[in-house]
Structure formats: C-alpha cells, structure tokens
Amino acid sequence: MKKNLIPEKQISAEAACNYIKDGMIVGLGTGTSAEFAVRKLGKLVREGLSIRGIPTSNRTKKLAEAEGIPLIDFSESMFIDLTIDGADEIDGNLNMIKGGGAALLQEKIVASVSRKEIIVGSKTKMVDHLGSFPLPVEVVPFGWQVVFNQLESLNGNPDLRLNNGQPLLTDQGNYIVDCHFRKISNPKLLENQINMIPGVVENGLFINLCTKMILADGEKLIVKDRKIR
C-alpha cells in the first residue's frame, strides 16, 4: 500500500515556517505554495505562536482569517520581518517572475518592505533564464491598448488576460497583460523599461527581493541565499 505523498510545495512552505518567530510581522504570499505556509502558520498560531500578518491578496486574507491569523495593514507597521511567498520562475540569482495569480502589485509592495523574503515551491520553478513563463504586467483599464502596443514594441508578444471572456480584474480593479518574452537576458533593464510605460502599474519581475529560496526536490530541500554585494 502506497503511503500518502506530501506535495513538494507543502514540504518547502512548512520548512520556511521554521524561520517565523514570536512577535514577527509576517508577509503572507498568494498562490498554491504560499497557501501551504498560511495553513501551517494558522496551526502554529492556534498552538500559541504570536504573529501578525499582512496578506498580499484578498484570497490570502480570507484564508488567513479562516486560519485565525491576526491581520494588520501598513497603517500599523511600515515594515515586515519576513515574507513567505511562491514564484512562477526563479533563476540562479534569485530573481523571479511572479503574478500568475494576478496579485503581483501587492506582492511586490510587501516584498519591498520585507527584511527577509523566503520563496518556496517545487524544484520545477528553478530556471536558467527567466521568460519561459509569461511575464504579467498590471495596467490601468484606461488606455490599456496603448500599453499593449508599447509592450509589442518591446517584443513582448502580449496577451490580455481574460476571465470568462472578459478582462480579468485584479484586487485593485486593473487589467493583466501577459508578455511572452521567452528568454529575458537582462531582467533589471526590462523591469525598468516596462515600468516607464505610462499606464503600467507594476510588472512581475522581482529583482533583488528574494533573500532565501527553499525549493523541494522530493523530500530533499534545495536552499540558496542571495549574496549581498
């Protein structure tokens, strides 16, 4: 009889929870990998762990509330001790593409004020070069076609993300345009180029924000820390 296999995402997410200590303000990521961390933290809170969380999406907020995790917003704290989140792709320099779950704006705000950010998931998220996963770009609805045209000029091969035949709306009421660059040779340059386009709110390139990667390869953990230069 086969034993029940624990998903790799769960193994890595629960390993990241070992870094959470009493009194911390914790960033709560969005996506299937991050959900495992939220559920584990909920269990630890019920067992006596004292933390406060800042969620990166309405979906995560609902899950955290259901798990009994006390939540705050940035009116109560301008920094976060540690964030646990997932990624759609992560390279050897710990740069990432995020936003498959359409929460990239809040995820980047949270990451930008996190003293530490641990990225979790399975080993399949590790890539040599970013770009195989479509790069999400969050844009305001007004004039989105203008932004779309500018992304085409960057060879982004953009697609407007739809939901039931209508433009998908983010938590902030914006649209998502997915760009198919296939291989991104200079992520930092491209991040800046995209964010200079009027109408772009944010894009899913996360550069120098991950401080530790914990990916699971079966039951084995692949751990890497970002070198501070």
Cα torsion at 29, 34, 38, 44 (round to 10°)? Answer: -120
Residue carrying the six token digits 């070198």: 227
- 3-state SS assignment for residue 181: coil
Q: Which residues have CB under 8 Å from 109's CB, separation 6+?
A: none
- Residue of 20, 99, 90, 95 lying closest to 57 (CA atoms): 99
Active-site pick, 107, 138, 191, 202: 107
- Is 107 tagged catalytic? yes
**Residue owning tokens 């991950």:** 210
Mapped onto helix, strand or coil, the DSSP state of residue 202 is: strand
Name the H helices within the chain. Answer: 8-16, 32-46, 58-67, 104-112, 144-153, 187-195
Q: List residues with catalytic annotation.
A: 107
